[in-house]
Structures are given as structure tokens and as C-alpha cells.
Structure 1
Amino acid sequence: MTCDLNTNLPDKAHDHGHDHEHGHGHSHDHADMTTADSRRRVAIAAVLTASFMMAEVTGGLISGSLALLADAAHMLTDAASLILAWVGYKLAERPADPSRSYGFGRMKVLAAFTNGIALVALSCWIVWEAVHRLLDPAPVLGGIMLWVAVGGLVVNVLAAWVLHGGDQHDLNLQGALWHVIGDLLGSVAAIAAAIIILTTGWIPADPILSVLVALLVLVAGVRIARQSGHILLEGTPEGLSPEDIRNDLEEHVAQVSNVAHIHAWALTESKPLITLEVTAVHGACTETLRRKVKARLAERFDISHATVEVVSEPC
């Protein structure tokens, strides 16, 4: 099995330079710009959330409203979660070193997982407090509750608008967004409860609406924790079925006899990785085949980082 090195060498050198600088490099530049935008949006949302949190805590304590206190608790965890998300972005920018060959890219995924778990825990706490309020109702000052809730709604709408304009596939950003959406829904629930209390005097409206918001936040927390946990456990990324990859390479790449030992996972939600073994037909140039396989993976499955081992078919 031989390759015409004199003939192929100039093309190989050109191909390598083109793939690395234009394909792989452009992907990193785009990812860096997206991360910088997400980090900026998270920082703005953190400032907005923290600025109103103390006002809502004070209003909840004075009025005796669980809905306001639940919303304030949302804001407290939101401020911490947004800061955690921002730290995740900053750490992810650190370069690789001998101890961490992939760098800190997964820090923002870890931050998303932590935020997902925090949403679940917060939802459970709100439900627990609501049950106690239903069993032992406490007086609620609807007027104070209403005005504070309206202020919280305005702040949360602004924060949600800032975060919603970012990368929709960024789990870290989505985790931060859902914290803020939980706050927004909490403010809506507090406004509704305040209006009901002011017009009818029915106090149970406060804890009941708090539970409804908690259930919505719980669903979001479970979804974010599940998706980020799948990445941390190195599960196969969505859309990268090993069987589909095998069939595609065997069908569309000439001189491929067999594809085996396929392992696909993701460093982050936007950086899939893959390793596989390709068996070349007898007489094929293994280096040329390796490049063809990597080119097909990038074109068909958008995988820019692939480790391809090529073995020869037995004589």
C-alpha cells in the first residue's frame, strides 16, 4: 500500500492550512464572539436583578406576602446564579494547559447544571412554604404588595429581554434566562394575588399562585439540569447517532470498508467531539482516506474536532 507523496504533498500542505485556518479557526472566532456577547448580557441582567432584590425583600416582609418573598428569593438566587454564569464564561476563556488539555470550556456547562439544580431546590422551597401558609394563613397588605410586584415585573422584563437576545443554544445563558423568567412569573403572580386580595380579601390567592409559578420553574430547572448533565456525563450529542455516522461514511466516502469504535460526546453544547476507526480497502492511501473522512464529518455532521484512526484491510 503506497501513496504518491511527491504528487500529493503540495495539495496536502494546502489542504491542511486551509482546514485549520479557515474552518477550525473561524469556528473558534465565532464561538469567542458569541461567548463575549453572552457574558455581557449576563452581567447586565445581574446588575438589574441585584438592584431591585432588597426592595422586594423589604416589601415582602412589610406586607407579609409569600408571593413577594418567593419572588425576592428568586431574585436572590438569580443574582447568585447570574454571577455564577458570568464566572463560568470567564473561566471558559482560560487557555488549555498540560493538566487540562481542553482548558476550562466545560465550566459554563457546570454553571448551567448548578443553576438547574438551584431552580429545582427553589421550587420545592416555595411549595413547602405555600403549604404552611395555606394551613396557617397570615394577613397580607395588598397595596404594598401590588406596587412592589409591579416594580419587580419591570426589572424582570428588562433582564429577560437582555438575556433572550443571546445565543439560544447556550445552556449557561438559558439557565440564567430561566431564573429571570421565574422571577418574572413570580412578579405576575404577586400582582394577580395582590389584586385578588385587594378586591375580595381572599388571602389563599397568595400561596396558591406562588405554587403555580414554582411548578413552571421546576420544569425549566429539570430540563436545564438534564441537558447539562448529559454533556457532563459525555452522552452522545443530539443529532449524532453512531449508526447514522457509520452508514454515511461507508456510503459516501470511497475506499472505506468498515467504520467501528465510534464514540461521540461534547465538550460544550456547541463543540461536539468524535473518535472512530476506519478500515480502508486494500491498496488505499490511509492518509488521503483519513482526510476525506474528516472532511465528510465536518460537512455532513458539523464536527470540526475528529480523531480518525485508519487501519488497512488484511491482505
Structure 2
Amino acid sequence: MMTQPIETIFNPKMVERSTSYHATGIAKSDTTASFHCHDHEEAKKEDDKNRKARRILWISVLICLFFMLCEVAGGYIANSLAIVTDAAHLLTDLASMLISLFSLYIANRPPNQKMSWGFHRAEVLGAFFSVFLIWVVTGVLVVLAIMRIIHGDHKVDAKIMAITASLGVLVNLIMGALLFFGGHSHSHGGGGHGHSHGGAPKKSKKKVHAAESGHGHSHGGHGHSHGGHGHGHSHSHGSENSDKDTESGHSGHGHDGANINVRAAFVHVLGDLIQSIGVLIAALLILFLPKWTILDPICTLFFSVIVLSTTIYILRDALVVLLEGRPSSVNFGEVIGSLQAIPGVNKVHDLRIWALTMDKVAVSVHLEIEDEREAQRILRDTRKMLKTEHNVHECTVQIESYNSEKDECVRCVPLKK
């Protein structure tokens, strides 16, 4: 099939029967003009998720504070460093939950001209500092345990130690269940919708046209173009919104990711649970074998290492977000393959994938096409694909005229693994 020349595409005679796109994001057809404001369903879903996370964290804070005081008293009476270590880890959990709550309140603030992305990454910083805090406290307890072993000062009251450790296991199980089952929501069907700029008539067939300059934008579902050489640009928030094919973040059956702060709190509690079980085992051994009191500081050393290892994953994921890395939930090769499979796309370059937060992925990409009459259709298909297949929260797509001479451009070379 012969491709229509560019000169014909931008023939001024075509303007009268083409769809025009304005900077306001209003799509205007031959017979109707409509305005569609922001769809707040996705924002409402996010607010509900944060509200639920805050409620879970507040309940966990109260439980953690109460039992931490009980463990401090029990550890002092039993002269057990292992119990005090467990109490110190509960103190760290308490601090991390309070940091997480503060982060959630900050992240809920709307974006402004200075912080155009909003304050979403405040929760990532909160998780990062909570992990740092537990590393500091654990380091101090390791030093104390080593000093006890060196000086032989490890006499403990095994009975009180066992009772306190048993309560620790029970409390950590309760908090762990609260954070795990309360922090993961389950959904069937489509996910929430974002907001789109512009509206569409129910049966309008849009064609791309331009008058002079040729730089076009599409926001959400529609956009605008300013004549010229046919350069299109699409920026999409949330989900595609139209009369026939409203798209969602997920389709089918899926799980919503837990808030990163709830996840961080769960990891802390998991570490405390492991330590409480270890302390309980050590207490029972000391109770029946009184000469084994050295197990108290040894238990502190051993489980401190385990607790540190459980925080590695939270720290790694937080660093990926802060360094604008690609989240592990998105496969770079699959995304570029999906883009190349879109009909009408000749070349894909400048693909960038990064994490805004742990559960919000952003994508920007340049697509080169030959038939520029297909630009709006390609923009629409690209947005739908990125959201439904790869759960992309924010996407910016730029349409360019295909030029084989660009093949040697160093900036267009595919990224290395």
C-alpha cells in the first residue's frame, strides 16, 4: 500500500473535516464539543488505600508500644539481654511506623508548581530511614552482646525470660497478621481509572491535522496539535477514558500491591517474630539446662544478623525508586516488544522506565511512524497497552516521522542490560 505524501496529509482543505485539538485538552468534532474533567476514581482509590494503611499502622503502633513496655520490664527483671534486644527492635518498629505515618500524611499533599510529581516519594524516604534506624539499634545490641560474652556476665532468670518471649511471639503474630492481611487488598476485574484531559464524542472519527508548526499533544484520551510536520506527543495520567473502551490499570483478576510503609512495618515485625521464637527457644533451653546461660547473648548476635538480612530487600527497593531505576515488576524487553508490535510503529527509541514509588511506574518513549494519519490511533493504542499490559501509572508518548537516517544516532541506540 502506498503511503500518502506528507504534503497531502497537511492539505489545508482537510482541516474542515478533521478533528481539531486544543491546548485546553478539549476534543472538538465536526458537530459536537465536549469537556471531560478529571476522573477522580483512581485518586479516590489511592486515598482509600492510604487511609487503610494509616488505620493499620495506628493499631500496630498502639500494640507495639504496649508490649514494648512489657518487654522492657520483663527483660530488666530477668536480666536478659535477648529480651531487651527484642524490646529495642520493637522500639525501632514503633519509630518506623511513626515515620511511615508521617510519610503517608505528607504523600497525601497535592502536587504544586515546585513539586509537580507531588510528595509520593516521602513514603519511600520514610521506609529508607526506618531501615537505617533498625541497623543502628541492632549494631548497638551486637556490641552489648559481645561485651557480655567477653566478661562472662550472662546470668538470667529463665522462667521470666520464657514467659516474656512467649508473649512476644503471640504479639508479633497478631501484628504480623494485621499488617499482612490488612495491607493487601484483593480485586476482581478492572482497576481504578485515572484522570484524562479532554473528551470525545461518541462516534467521532478523529484524524490528525495541522496548520503550521506540527507539534501535537494528547492528554489522557485526547489532545491538541499545532500544525506543521506532524510531530505528536501524548501524556497520559491514569487510565484511558472513552465511551466504548474505558480501560483500567489492571484487567481480569489481580492483587493490589501493599503500601510500601505497611510492607516495611511487616518486614520489621517478621524480624521480631523470628527473634522472639529464637529467644523463646533459648529461654526454654536455659530453663532446663541452667549452665547454658551464654545462649542469651549468642541468641542476640544470631538473630541480629537475621533481622538485618530481612531489611535488605526494603532498602534495595527504596534505593531503586530514589535512583529512578526500573522496578522489578516491569520487564524492559517485554515493554519494548509490545511497543514494536503496535501496528504502524516503525521504530521505538528513547524508552525510559522508572519508578515514581513502589507501586507507581512511569514510562516515556519516542515512536517513529510513516503514515502520520495514524498518529492518534497509535497514541491511543500505546496508552491502552502500557496501562492494561504493564500497569503503567504515567506515560508520555512522542510520535515522530520515520527517518532511516536516524538509525545511526547514538541517542537512539537501545539501552544495555
TM-score by structure 2 length? 0.68
**C-alpha deviation, 1:161, in angstroms:** 1.6
Q: Percent identity?
A: 28
Tell me how far apart the structure 2 counterparts of residues 136 and 286 of structure 1 sit (CA, whole Å): 77
Q: Which runs of 5+ in 2 are unaligned?
A: 1-5, 185-256, 405-417
Please state whether the residue corresponding to 1:284 is helix, strand or coil: helix
Q: Could you say which residue in structure 2 is the equivalent of 1:149?
A: 165
Q: 1:205 aligns with which of 292, 295, 314?
A: 295
For the pair 1:274 / 2:363, whether they are aligned, the reply is yes
**Bigger shift: residues 121-130 or 263-272:** 121-130
**C-alpha deviation, 1:246, in angstroms:** 2.2
**C-alpha deviation, 1:54, in angstroms:** 1.9
Q: Could you say which residue in structure 2 is the equivalent of 1:71?
A: 86
Q: Could you say which residue in structure 2 is the equivalent of 1:217?
A: 307
- RMSD of aligned alpha carbons: 2.6
- CA pair 13-297 structure 1, distance change in 2 beyond 3 A: farther
Tell me how far apart the structure 2 counterparts of residues 130 and 92 of structure 1 sit (CA, whole Å): 39
Tell me how far apart the structure 2 counterparts of residues 247 and 307 of structure 1 sit (CA, whole Å): 17
**C-alpha deviation, 1:75, in angstroms:** 1.2
The answer as to whether partners of 2:272 and 2:307 remain within 8 angstroms in 1 is no
For the pair 1:312 / 2:328, whether they are aligned, the reply is no
Q: Could you say which residue in structure 2 is the equivalent of 1:229?
A: 319
Structure with greater proportional helix content: 1
Tell me how far apart the structure 2 counterparts of residues 60 and 239 of structure 1 sit (CA, whole Å): 43
Q: 1:173 aligns with which of 253, 259, 262?
A: 262
Residue pairs, 1:111-126, within 5 angstroms: 111-126=126-141
Q: Could you say which residue in structure 1 is the equivalent of 2:354?
A: 265
Tell me how far apart the structure 1 counterparts of residues 173 and 302 of structure 2 sit (CA, whole Å): 19
Computing the radius of gyration from Cα coordinates, the structure with the larger value is: 2
**Bigger shift: residues 186-195 or 196-205:** 186-195
Q: Could you say which residue in structure 1 is the equivalent of 2:112?
A: 97
**Bigger shift: residues 238-247 or 36-45:** 238-247
**C-alpha deviation, 1:248, in angstroms:** 1.6
For the pair 1:244 / 2:259, whether they are aligned, the reply is no
Tell me how far apart the structure 1 counterparts of residues 388 and 164 of structure 2 sit (CA, whole Å): 53
Amino acid across the alignment from 2:347: N
The answer as to whether partners of 2:172 and 2:272 remain within 8 angstroms in 1 is yes
**C-alpha deviation, 1:216, in angstroms:** 1.7
Q: Could you say which residue in structure 1 is the equivalent of 2:152?
A: 137
Please state whether the residue corresponding to 2:373 is helix, strand or coil: coil
Q: Could you say which residue in structure 2 is the equivalent of 1:287?
A: 376
State the aligned residue count: 310
Tell me how far apart the structure 2 counterparts of residues 19 and 214 of structure 1 sit (CA, whole Å): 53
The answer as to whether partners of 2:354 and 2:363 remain within 8 angstroms in 1 is yes
**C-alpha deviation, 1:143, in angstroms:** 2.1
**C-alpha deviation, 1:131, in angstroms:** 2.1
Q: Which runs of 5+ in 1 are unaligned?
A: none
Tell me how far apart the structure 2 counterparts of residues 285 and 20 of structure 1 sit (CA, whole Å): 26
Tell me how far apart the structure 1 counterparts of residues 50 and 127 of structure 2 sit (CA, whole Å): 14
- CA pair 18-219 structure 1, distance change in 2 beyond 3 A: farther
**Bigger shift: residues 121-130 or 196-205:** 121-130
Please state whether the residue corresponding to 1:219 is helix, strand or coil: helix
TM-score by structure 1 length? 0.89
**C-alpha deviation, 1:184, in angstroms:** 2.2
Tell me how far apart the structure 2 counterparts of residues 125 and 17 of structure 1 sit (CA, whole Å): 61
